[in-house]
Amino acid sequence: MATVKLQHLRKTYDRGKTWAVNDVSLEIANGEFMALLGPSGCGKSSTMRMIAGLEELTAGEIYFDERFMNRVPPRGRNVAMVFETYALYPTLNVYENLAFPLRSMGTPEAEIQKRIHDIVAILQAEDLLELKPANLSSGQSQLVGLGRALMRQPNVFIMDEPISHLDTRLRSRMRSYIKRLHIDLKYTMLYVTHDQEEAMALADRIAIMDVGNVVQIGTPQEIFHNPVNMYVAGFVGEPPMNFLECAAEHQNGSYHLTYKGSPVPLPTVAAALAQKQALPRDVVVAIRPFYIDAAHERSESHSLPAQVFVVEPMGDSTVISVNAAETRMQIVAPPEMRVKDGDHVWLALEPSRILLFDKQTGIRL
């Protein structure tokens, strides 16, 4: 196991014309589970490949503990990798697939047998040892892929979208396996994914990337509740964050927020900024669907008019999509909420849950 430190990492293609990774600096602590999260093309896979030694750096430095790794070939880094594809040898049974990495390193047979015994016990895969890959399900194949990577006792364990192709139920089960593996083995793990649900469920900390840059690093709770900008706020959370472009108006000695002429609650942070005269004229109000209430009648709290676009019963809740003037919003309501397509409703936004962003910069106020 090792601490991984990246300093000002850069990667370009097309002779410097295209940036894949731009000035990425972060540290993964010894035994930490870090997720690299972002959409396709954001630079997360290039960052992962540079850590593993599979991609040459354009600039920057990589350290495992205090060892400078830039010139160390992949074989010398002792990085174990698991990909979306299982990459199992089809002519070998599970036992031989697990043994192969250690056999190629000249490990004594007794040590190989002990390691296999320990790994299959953790994975609860004892009954798979004699089977060949063609006889394994998708979930079983991915378990074997994880087991083969674990056999090496790596400095760093990297997973690149390892369960994105599995069905929903199996994906949830595999997440539990991976989480348990980290708890039991305490390896330094880097998990690369575009799926924010996987990152939130698995990681100790998340590094969110956008167009080659790391825009925020934090715990899942920090990322969810305190996004640094609108990109992070909109990327994390399901259903996604709602955004309203509002005007901050100063009337009768106090500030008010309005959306298309309708009042919007002023969050505590806005009042503090208003006192310092640091509240921009054009702001974006952001609020998650869980913190909006809908009613059939207007009241002092339910003051934002909207029309129901579609209703999605989910069993334990109801997701309601509404049109508030020019903006489509989503609300997570209790299952007993009775509305239908086309109904006119009034929305109440919980002031303590409202986030404010500068419309020009997208940065949180």
Domain final residue, candidates 205, 235, 265:
235
- Return the CATH number at 261: 2.40.50.140
Residues 175 and 263 in one domain: no
How many separate domains does the chain show? 2
Expressed as residue numbers, the domain containing 259 is 242-358
pLDDT for the residue 253? 64
What is the reported pTM? 0.89
CB 285 within 8 A of CB 264: yes
Domain final residue, candidates 188, 209, 235:
235
pLDDT for the residue 248? 87
Question: DSSP E strands: which ranges in the chain?
Answer: 4-13, 18-28, 33-37, 59-64, 67-68, 79-82, 156-160, 189-193, 205-210, 213-218, 242-251, 254-259, 262-264, 282-287, 292-295, 304-313, 318-324, 327-333, 344-349, 355-358
Domain final residue, candidates 235, 270, 290:
235
Residues 26 and 50 in one domain: yes
In whole angstroms, how large is the CA radius of gyration of the chain? Answer: 25
Give 309: exposed, middle or buried? Use CB within 10 Å, 0-12, 13-18, 19+.
middle
Residues 80 and 171 in one domain: yes
- Return the CATH number at 80: 3.40.50.300
pLDDT for the residue 56? 92
Asked if residue 106 is part of any domain, the answer here is yes
Six-digit token string for 174: 């595999």
pLDDT for the residue 269? 74
Backbone torsions φ then ψ of 191, nearest 5 degrees: -115, 115
Residues 86 and 68 in one domain: yes
Asked if residue 208 is part of any domain, the answer here is yes
Asked if residue 259 is part of any domain, the answer here is yes
Question: For the chain (length 365 residues), average pLDDT per consecutive 10?
Answer: 93 84 95 96 94 94 95 92 83 92 87 89 86 89 85 88 80 85 89 94 96 96 96 95 91 80 85 74 95 95 96 95 96 93 96 93 93
Residues 264 and 225 in one domain: no
